[in-house]
């Protein structure tokens, strides 16, 4: 039988029995829609979390800090040392000093952190307002970035953050005395810094300043933290292991991401299981319909067989019919599921904009996933059709033709 004839013969049910055909498709569709919605929710949640983490270099970086226990110190030599290690591309340090910040006569306690621009990239520091330090800003001596909590010191409300860009603040550094005593020397930096950006770090009172500028006022012998940029993903665990062996405390963002991914895969699996149950129920329904169709068509099969249809012709006819129904069910389900997810998204976004929250997409439907679902439902159609089809093809034509 030629494909176009097969297609014509196996779509007759839309004309001869439209109600039952569409109900079967709807049944498959609802099952598929359940899978699409639930897995789409999983994808959406995962995306929401991962969108907050900067990808790229951040994932290839290790954050190294001293445990303090073995007297390991992070010094400029350590940085140079790290850079020489196999698989390490670069190392960027962070120096940290307590300080007092003054804005329009208000003074508060903060930490001034001296960094070079690569560190910001490796650590994944981004700006919620204003600009981050770029590579060419290394010689910058006039601007700083603040964490949002710092603004709270000056009584700046959340909605006025944007207006704070370009404001001027001044610092007094609190540097521990060289002699090892508890004494703290206060170094007054006699100039005004311009605020160029606000970071996203919640909960800490931090000021970011270029490391060379900080060196102008204080000698730096020990770093708080070093970000080590590893060349490839494969080397990440190797370098990490080496550093841990040397006694450093190492944190890797990639680990966190991996863990988050795993958790979400778990959540997706659970959601997909529930959706899958719905799909199984509808597949059983479809199987039932195909079996009834077979009984109904017994006579027709007998006629076709005596007219010269081969058993395979009969089989193809049945299988293609159920594949068509399965695939249509899949497409219907995708349409229903996506429409449902999209409307929930829209509803949430309207709600969010009403209450001043951030817009989120709770549901996400990657194209690959939808294609897979469409093909999968066609596959389910095939499976529900193959057994009735096999039975149909083995029927004795004479018995079949006399079946009423």
Partner 1 sequence: MAKPLIVCRDLSIIYNKGKSNEFKALQGVSTDIFEGEYIILFGPSGCGKSTLMYSIQGSLPPGEGTLLVKGDDVYSYPPAERVYFQRYVMGIIFQQFNLIPSLTVLDNVALPMIFCNTDKTTRNRRAQSLLDRFGVGHVSHKITPMLSGGQQQRVSVARSMINDPKILLADEPTGNLDSVSTQQVMDKIDEINTFDRRTIIMVSHNAAHLSYAHRVYYLKDGHVVREVVNPQRKQIKPVREGETIVTELEQLARLFPYDSVETLRVKSLVNYLTQDYSFDQLVRMEHAISLLIQGKIDRSAFIKSMTLPYERGGVEVDEKEARRMASIAERMINRADDVRRFRARKDNNDIFFSQDKLAERMKEHLTHEYRIKLSKEQNNNMTEIIADRVTGVIEATDMNERMMRGIRSGGLSLSEREADDISRHFEKTIAQGIDVSYK
Interface residues toward partner 1, by CB under 8 A: 1-2, 4-5, 9, 12, 15-16, 299-300, 303-311, 313, 396-398, 401
Q: Which H helix or E strand runs over 121?
A: helix 117-123
> By the 8 A CB rule, do 278 and 30 touch?
yes
- C-beta of 184 vs 292, nearer to partner 1: 292
Closest C-alpha among 119, 82, 78, 124 to residue 209: 119
Nearer to partner 1, 224 or 313 (CB): 313
Residue with tokens 């109900």, as numbered in its chain: 23
Closest CB 358 distance from partner 1, rounded Å: 57
Q: What's the closest the beta carbon of residue 318 comes to partner 1, in angstroms? A: 15
**12 to 15, 253, 311: CA distances (angstroms):** 5, 58, 20
Say how far apart CA 160 and CA 246 lie, in whole Å: 46
Crossing angle of helices 311-354 and 3-10, rounded to 10°: 70
DSSP 231: S
Q: How far is CA 399 from the centre of its chain?
A: 59
Judged by CB, which is closer to partner 1: 192, or 310?
310
Residue number with CB closer to partner 1 (96 or 390): 390
The nearest distance, CB 262 to partner 1, in angstroms, is 53
- Shortest separation between residue 307's beta carbon and partner 1, angstroms: 5
Nearer CB in complex with partner 1: 22/369: 22
Pairing of strands 106-115, 206-210: parallel
Q: How far is the CB of 388 from partner 1 (least distance, A)?
A: 18
Q: Looking at beta carbons only, is 290 or 378 nearer to partner 1? A: 290
Residues in the chain: 404
How near is the Cβ of 22 to partner 1 at its closest, in Å? 16
Task: In angstroms, give the least distance from the CB of 398 to partner 1.
Answer: 5
Phi-psi map region of 342: left, alpha, beta (phi>0 left; psi -120 to 50 alpha):
alpha
Nearer to partner 1, 225 or 305 (CB): 305
Tokens for 138, please give them: 């290394």
């Amino acid at each position: 039988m030629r494909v176009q004839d097969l297609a014509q013969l196996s779509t007759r049910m839309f004309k001869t029995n439209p109600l039952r055909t569409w109900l079967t498709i709807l049944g498959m569709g609802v099952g598929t829609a359940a899978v699409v919605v639930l897995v789409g929710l999983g994808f959406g949640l995962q995306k929401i979390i991962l969108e907050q983490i900067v990808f790229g270099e951040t994932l290839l970086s290790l954050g190294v800090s001293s445990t303090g226990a073995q007297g390991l110190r992070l010094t400029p030599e350590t940085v140079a040392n790290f850079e020489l290690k196999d698989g390490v591309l670069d190392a960027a340090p962070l120096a940290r000093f307590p300080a007092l910040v003054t804005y329009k006569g208000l003074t508060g306690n903060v930490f001034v952190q001296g960094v070079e621009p690569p560190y910001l990239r490796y650590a994944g520091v981004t700006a919620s307002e204003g600009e981050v330090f770029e590579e060419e800003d290394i010689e910058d001596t006039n601007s700083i970035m603040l964490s949002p909590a710092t603004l709270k010191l000056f009584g700046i409300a959340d909605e006025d953050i944007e207006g704070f860009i370009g404001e001027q603040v001044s610092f007094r550094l609190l540097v521990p005395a060289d002699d090892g005593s508890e004494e703290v020397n206060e170094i007054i930096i006699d100039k005004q810094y311009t605020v160029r950006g606000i970071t996203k770090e919640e909960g800490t009172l931090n000021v970011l300043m270029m490391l060379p500028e900080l060196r102008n006022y204080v000698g730096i012998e020990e770093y708080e933290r070093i970000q080590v940029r590893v060349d490839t993903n494969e080397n990440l665990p190797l370098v990490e292991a080496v550093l841990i062996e040397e006694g450093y405390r190492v944190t890797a963002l990639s680990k966190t991401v991996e863990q988050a991914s795993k958790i979400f895969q778990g959540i997706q699996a659970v959601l997909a299981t529930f959706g899958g149950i719905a799909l199984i129920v509808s597949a059983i329904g479809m199987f039932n319909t195909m079996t009834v169709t077979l009984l109904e068509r017994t006579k027709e099969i007998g006629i076709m067989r005596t007219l010269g249809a081969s058993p395979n012709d009969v089989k193809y006819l049945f299988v293609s019919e159920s594949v068509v129904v399965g695939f249509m069910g899949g497409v219907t389900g995708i349409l229903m599921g996506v429409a449902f997810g999209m409307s929930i998204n829209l509803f949430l976004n309207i709600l969010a904009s009403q209450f001043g929250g951030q817009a989120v997409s709770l549901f996400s439907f990657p194209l690959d996933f939808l294609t897979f679902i469409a093909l999968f439902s066609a596959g389910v159609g095939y499976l529900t059709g193959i057994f009735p089809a096999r039975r149909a093809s083995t029927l004795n034509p004479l018995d079949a033709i006399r079946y009423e």
